[in-house]
Chains A and B, each alone.
Chain A
Amino acid sequence: AQSVTQPDIHITVSEGASLELRCNYSYGATPYLFWYVQSPGQGLQLLLKYFSGDTLVQGIKGFEAEFKRSQSSFNLRKPSVHWSDAAEYFCAVGGNTGKLIFGQGTTLQVKP
């Protein structure tokens, strides 16, 4: 069955510190992988996506993610977090079925 697991429900980091949000997926074929960010009261904004090719993908707002097929992971990273990065982050997996399966989300809190 297709699924996405975000093991960390809530993460707190200090402003300026590095960030890694974990995402593990289960998918029967070559996955398309996505990270979205949702600020309070807002819709979801696409941060980055992986379809094929280079396993390290760059996104908006200084985020990057690395696809590791052997670990079924697609972790999101940022070298230096800003207070404005505080939000809910969702990992999602899709493919040629047209359906996106979302993880439960990780709430990021940024300490000044």
Chain B
Amino acid sequence: DTAVSQTPKYLVTQMGNDKSIKCEQNLGHDTMYWYKQDSKKFLKIMFSYNNKELIINETVPNRFSPKSPDKAHLNLHINSLELGDSAVYFCASEGRYNEQFFGPGTRLTVL
């Protein structure tokens, strides 16, 4: 069974469009994250949710809106996509000692 899954794996879209990425974990963890990995492979935290509540928001533009319908799911919706949003987005689920388990990533390309 996949511990942390994301859909879609690839997303190609035009500037100005709105898109969503879904994430699910079956590890029973309370805390989930979204990270952005840029073209230089640098990983930056975007959001964190604990049991459906937002606990970390790292100065991400408000075009990005996470939503957690339950503690096993954390989705990311992006409005008015810009070229600079092109990146790989990773969802992660946090274990007891801050270790994080990552999903396979969603490669977003904005044309």
Spell out A's residues near B (CB within 8 Å).
32, 34, 36, 38, 42-46, 49, 51, 88, 90, 94-96, 98-100, 102, 104-105
Contact = CB atoms under 8 A, between A and B. Distances in A.
A44 B97 contact: no
B48 A44 contact: no
- Complex A-B, nearest 3 residue pairs according to Cβ-Cβ distance, in ascending order: A94-B98, A43-B102, A44-B102
Tell me the interface secondary structure of chain A in the complex. strand
Given A51-B97, A104-B41, A105-B42, A98 B102 contact: no
Contacts of B40: 104
Interface centre among B50, B55, B100 (most CB of A within 10 A): B100
A43 B105 CA distance: 6
A44 B100 CA distance: 9
Interface in B40-99: 40-43, 45, 48, 50, 55-56, 90, 92, 94, 97-99
